């Protein structure tokens, strides 16, 4: 089964706009789980413009499904993850001022650094995933770090989907096959939506998990969060 992890960063963005606790990030996460979500994802950034460090600590005892923390592995991020001990950590190459993740790792030049980080998390019993594009050699390099999974950066798929779904998904099929051959699990995320998720799921083999935030929270403004979570889960039920 391909799992759905709901990224709740945008919920925190809305809360922070008023400086109070509405909407309640922890309650939202628990509600998503009750509606069937298989995991909760957060991506704390240094400026805390959405998810705060305090949110990460508050969420840990309340999230009963898989807790996934994304971020650039700075010393502060590594210490946070080691204290919280989520089920999964996803390593992304974001600069501190990035609006959103916009590229995967170029692994080879960073392989020593990533290997050391992966080893620290492995010693703590935390599954690691490295955010990458679809370049096959880059995925092979990711496997050499000792990571458990890769997360495929799916914005190129989303951008090309309307013009040609077949062409857009082809590199991701090949990337997933290559990752599986290297012994890596496969996650995916960025700009997946109700429009393009089902096709991606049907075509890409060995897909363990999708992490979806912006589109899902946007859809919830119209459909409500319960209906939205169930709609995304429905996209992951046929194959």
Evaluate whether 16 touches 49 at the Cβ level (below 8 Å). Answer: yes
Active site residue 190: yes
From the candidates 33, 66, 151, 190, give the one annotated as an active-site residue.
Answer: 190
Please report, for residues 26, 159, 195, 203, 233, the alpha-carbon distance to residue 165 in angstroms, rounded to integers and kept in the order given: 36, 10, 11, 10, 20
Q: How many residues belong to the chain?
A: 239
The values of phi and psi at residue 78, to 5°, are -60, -45
Q: Which of 33, 43, 151, 209 is catalytic?
A: 43
What is the number of alpha carbons within 13 Å of residue 122 lying toward its C-beta? 12
End-to-end C-alpha distance for the chain, whole angstroms: 10
* Residue among 205, 153, 196 nearest 178 (CA): 205
Helix (H) or strand (E) holding 87: none
Residue 109 DSSP one-character state:
G
70 noted as active-site residue: yes
Active site residue 180: no
For 78, 110, 119, the CA distances from 116, given in Å and listed in that order, are 11, 10, 5
User: 33, 50, 66, 70: which one is catalytic?
Assistant: 70
d(CA 146, CA 115): 7
- Owner of token pair 């990458």: 132
Q: Which residues are catalytic?
A: 43, 70, 190
């Amino acid at each position: 089964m391909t799992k759905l992890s709901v990224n709740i960063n945008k919920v925190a963005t809305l809360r922070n706009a008023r400086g109070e606790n509405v909407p309640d990030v922890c309650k939202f996460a628990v509600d998503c789980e009750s509606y069937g979500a298989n995991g909760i994802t957060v991506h704390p950034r240094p400026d805390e413009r959405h998810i705060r460090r305090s949110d990460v600590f508050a969420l840990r005892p309340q999230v009963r499904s898989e807790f996934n923390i994304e971020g650039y592995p700075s010393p502060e991020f590594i210490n946070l993850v080691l204290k919280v001990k989520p089920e999964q950590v996803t390593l992304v190459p974001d600069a501190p001022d990035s609006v959103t993740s916009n590229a995967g790792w170029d692994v080879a030049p960073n392989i020593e650094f990533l290997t050391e980080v992966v080893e620290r998390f492995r010693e703590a019993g935390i599954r690691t995933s490295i955010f990458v594009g679809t370049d096959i050699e880059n995925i092979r390099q990711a496997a050499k770090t000792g990571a458990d999974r890769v997360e495929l950066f799916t914005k190129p798929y989303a951008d090309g989907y309307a013009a040609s779904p077949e062409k857009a998904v082809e590199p991701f099929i090949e990337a997933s096959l290559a990752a599986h051959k290297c012994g890596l699990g496969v996650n995916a995320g960025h700009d997946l939506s109700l429009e393009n998720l089902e096709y991606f799921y049907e075509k890409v083999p060995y897909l363990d998990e999708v992490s979806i935030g912006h589109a899902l929270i946007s859809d919830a403004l119209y459909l409500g969060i319960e209906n939205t979570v169930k709609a995304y889960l429905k996209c992951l039920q046929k194959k």
